[in-house]
Structure 1
């Protein structure tokens, strides 16, 4: 199991969440098995999301989708996200 963590700030959580929720069908069609969204207790626009995949290759393919980049721009991401990939052992 491969999990991708992405932390980023958004300009408006409610607007970002609408874009994120509308993207679920793309996630499912591209190997996302499970996902979760977390907000910082101190800043509701500081978001961490997790996406789980069956393989590292599936995660890499998903992260390279132009549709994903477009959704992130539309969702109001501020600055560059911090991304890390882990394997469950």
Structure 2
């Protein structure tokens, strides 16, 4: 799996979120398998977006799609800045269930 990561600086999370949600069909049509949106606890204007893809080709292609989206007036109205998108190969992805972990209940 590959992850495309972007950090945005936004003045208003709710307005940004409405704009982000409008592009759900674009994400579906272009190979996004899952995504996470995180907001910094120390700087509420900083939002990190992680988009998961099955292959590196889709993640690279999506960078071009993002550039087109960012050039629209709607995107410019809700975001002050974007980091350069980075692509990461996911090497370990594990969810820990405390109920089934060997360490569960030990002291």
What TM-score, normalized by structure 2, do the two folds share?
Answer: 0.73
- Runs of 4+, deviation exceeding 4 Å: none
Structure-1 residue corresponding to 2:95: none
Count of aligned pairs:
88
Structure-1 residue corresponding to 2:76: 73
The higher relative CO (CA closer than 8 Å, separation ≥ 6) is in 1
Could you list the runs of 5+ residues in structure 2 that have no partner in the other structure?
A: 92-107
Higher strand share: 1
> Are the structure 2 counterparts of residues 23 and 8 from structure 1 closer, same or farther at C-alpha, using a change threshold of 3 Å?
same
Structure-1 residue corresponding to 2:51: 51
Question: How far 1:67 sits from its partner (Å)?
Answer: 4.5
Question: How far 1:72 sits from its partner (Å)?
Answer: 3.5
Contact 2:60–2:87, Cα closer than 8 Å, also in 1: no
Question: How far 1:82 sits from its partner (Å)?
Answer: 3.8
The superposition leaves residues 53-79 of structure 1 with CA deviations (integer Å, 9 ceiling, x where unpaired) of 0111101111102543236324x2212
Superposed CA RMSD in Å reads 1.7
Contact 1:35–1:49, Cα closer than 8 Å, also in 2: yes
What TM-score, normalized by structure 1, do the two folds share?
Answer: 0.86
Structure-2 residue corresponding to 1:63: 63
